[in-house]
Amino acid sequence: MKGRAVFVQSQARELPSRDQVTEQEHTDPAAASGERNGSKSIRAVAAALILRGEEVLICQRRPDQPLGSKWEFPGGKIEPGETAEEALRRELKEELDIDAIVGTRVAHIRHNYRSGGAVDLQFFLVREYTRDVANLIFQDVRWCPLRHLPEYDFVTADRNLVRDLAAGKLL
């Protein structure tokens, strides 16, 4: 099944998720919470585009995780009762030990997995945060020039966003 984009706000960029997933899903959809899509869940996720000049912070998943060694943007699951912004602040504290000021939502993507599960991704700009970034959970964390993003092996759900960021279409 191909992914489809979901347009939510006028300032959020619609990004189609054209790639079919040929890799293991981020999580077990049966264990995920959120909306139901038939018998599979839609996992709501908030992710950060943490900018430093013309660079963005990217994170590599540990080899023992689903989608091990793939690159992604920091963030995670939106828990029941949380807004996307609240969830992102919590996740950035847990993953990178930073207190972030979450800015504008720049993209909203619905990516459907072949298994029938889906992830609903909201990407927010983060230009300000307190403390130095600390890698608390990832295999690697690095600042990457936007134009070099396509050189990294990103999770499938992020690939169209990566392409558009590198082409200067979003920021």
- The answer to whether 34 and 41 are in contact (CB under 8 A) is yes
Domain ranges across the chain: 4-166
Which pTM was predicted? 0.79
Give the contacts of 10 (CB within 8 A, at least 6 positions apart). Answer: none
Determine the pLDDT at residue 40: 66
How is residue 147 annotated by DSSP? G
pLDDT reported for residue 150: 98
Instruction: Tell me what pLDDT residue 25 has.
Output: 33
Token duo for residue 89: 């602040």
CA angle 110, 115, 121 (to 5 degrees): 20
Give the pLDDT of the chain (171 residues) as one tens digit per residue.
333 332 223 234 444 433 333 233 333 333 333 444 454 689 999 999 999 999 999 999 999 998 899 999 999 999 999 999 999 999 999 999 999 999 999 999 999 988 788 999 999 999 999 999 999 999 999 999 999 999 999 999 999 999 999 999 988
Task: Please say whether the beta carbons of 48 and 59 come within 8 A.
Answer: no
Question: 116: alpha, beta or left, given left = phi > 0 and alpha = psi -120 to 50?
Answer: left
At the topology level of CATH, where does 4-166 sit? Nucleoside Triphosphate Pyrophosphohydrolase (3.90.79)
